[in-house]
Amino acid sequence: NAGVTQTPKFRVLKTGQSMTLLCAQDMNHEYMYWYRQDPGMGLRLIHYSVGEGTTAKGEVPDGYNVSRLKKQNFLLGLESAAPSQTSVYFCASSPYPRTENKETQYFGPGTRLLVL
């Protein structure tokens, strides 16, 4: 099993450009998450999904959109990139909802995004 994979690994964008980050998991997990990680700050939840066809906003959703058309894929879109979106983006998946104590999130390797 590949686990959680993310594409691309690294990307440079100009302000105003758009792009889509792809997250794929082969563990048949229902729950998927997008986080961003910035220096000096803890991971922050952008959007999440509790199943195919469903998405919900997290802590910092502004400027991002997501889609979960297939159970194994969770896409994160930046419609008009801004320098404030320079960050490392992590995708995670889990077989259980966040409310369960046995829930464990499996993280991807991350995508480094630089917006100039």
How many residues interact with another protein (rule CB under 8 A)? 20
Of residues 17, 19, 30, 45, which one binds another protein by CB under 8 A? 45
- Check binding of 2 to another protein (CB under 8 A): no
Using CB under 8 A, which of the segments 14-22, 62-70, 75-83, 94-102 binds another protein? Answer: 94-102
Q: Which of residues 14-43 bind another protein (CB under 8 A)?
A: 40-43
SS3 83: helix
How far apart are the C-alpha atoms of 85 and 103, rounded to whole Å?
29
Closest alpha carbon to 26 in 71, 63, 85 = 71
Of residues 32, 75, 76, 92, which one binds another protein by CB under 8 A? 92
Q: Minimum Å distance from CB 59 to another protein?
A: 9
How far apart are the C-alpha atoms of 80 and 70, rounded to whole Å?
24
Of residues 32, 90, 113, 115, which one binds another protein by CB under 8 A? 90
Toward another protein, which CB reaches closer, 4 or 76?
4
- Check binding of 83 to another protein (CB under 8 A): no
Strands (E), the chain: 4-7, 10-13, 19-25, 31-37, 44-51, 54-57, 64-67, 73-78, 87-94, 106-107, 111-115
Toward another protein, which CB reaches closer, 17 or 72?
72
CA atoms within a 13 Å half-sphere pointing along the CA-CB vector of 76: 33
